[in-house]
Copies of this chain bind each other. A is one copy, B any other.
Amino acid sequence: MLMNFLEEKILLDGTIKQGNILKIDSFLNHQIDIDIIRQIAYELKRRFKGVEVTKVLTIEASGIAIATMLGNLYDVPVVFAKKSETANSTDDKYVSQAYSFTHKKMNSVFVSRPYLQASDRVLIVDDFLADGQAALALMDLVHQAGGKVSGVGIAVEKGQQKGGKMLREMGCKLESIAIVEEMDWEKQTIQFREQPKRKLGKTNLKKK
């Protein structure tokens, strides 16, 4: 199986911690390898080719770098939803709830109303997809505003957790650049899910 740039980087610089925790904060969510983030943005834009995007939405904090590079490529505004332990919907903001399995608590996730509109076609992006709770909350915010979700773009999906399956079964256009299928802490091995080649329909190379 031929690896893509992100799978290769994970094998090179990621570490597996006890409890099957994948640590990639040397290049994605603490220190940022700017070239990797750039490639992630290019690759997501390529995978969502032909899809209308008027806004990029993510959630603070670690999704912001990817969202910024993607907003830069699309030349559209970026919005980052904020987290709070307590937030209620008001005239000012849309609020949704996301349970964090990592921190074992419910978080409120909100966006000020003017920054999501009914006319928006929103590409939701994040560094990780695990249980899908954050993605669902972001989708809910877009829908509350009357907007449409163009798709969900993820750097690293944890394929053993239920988020990806759930979103795909909902009919959501989900693209994850790397999907971790299995990890083994003792052997320090990672297995990625082979992703289908996208059908491009008829090839349209020009005759020479």
One of B30, B61, B76, B80 near A79 (C-beta < 8 A): B30
A75–B33 Cα distance when bound, in Å, is: 9
On whether the beta carbons of B69 and A31 are closer than 8 Å, the reply is no
Cβ of A191 < 8 Å from any Cβ of B? no
Which residues from chain B contact A38 at a C-beta distance below 8 Å? Answer: 72
Q: A residues 29-64 with Cβ under 8 Å of B?
A: 30-35, 37-38, 60-61, 64
Residue of B nearest to A32 (CB): B78
* Most B C-beta atoms less than 10 A away, residue of A25, A61, A69, A76: A61
Cβ of A150 < 8 Å from any Cβ of B? no
A81 CB to closest chain B CB (Å) equals 9
One of B30, B33, B77, B82 near A80 (C-beta < 8 A): B30
Assembly of this chain: how many copies? 2
On whether the beta carbons of B32 and A71 are closer than 8 Å, the reply is yes
Residue of B nearest to A83 (CB): B61
Known: A61-B60, A68-B65. A31 touches B76 (CB 8 A): no
**Could you list 13 further interchain pairs (A-B, Cβ under 8 angstroms) beyond the known A30-B115, A34-B75, A34-B76?**
A25-B112, A30-B79, A30-B112, A31-B79, A31-B112, A31-B115, A32-B77, A32-B80, A34-B77, A34-B78, A37-B68, A60-B61, A65-B68
Which residues of A pack against B, CB within 8 Å? Answer: 25-26, 30-35, 37-38, 60-61, 64-65, 67-69, 71-72, 75-80, 82, 111-112, 114-115
19 contacts between A and B (CB under 8 A): A25-B112, A26-B115, A30-B112, A30-B115, A31-B79, A31-B112, A32-B71, A32-B78, A32-B79, A34-B68, A34-B71, A34-B75, A34-B77, A37-B68, A61-B64, A61-B80, A61-B82, A64-B64, A65-B65
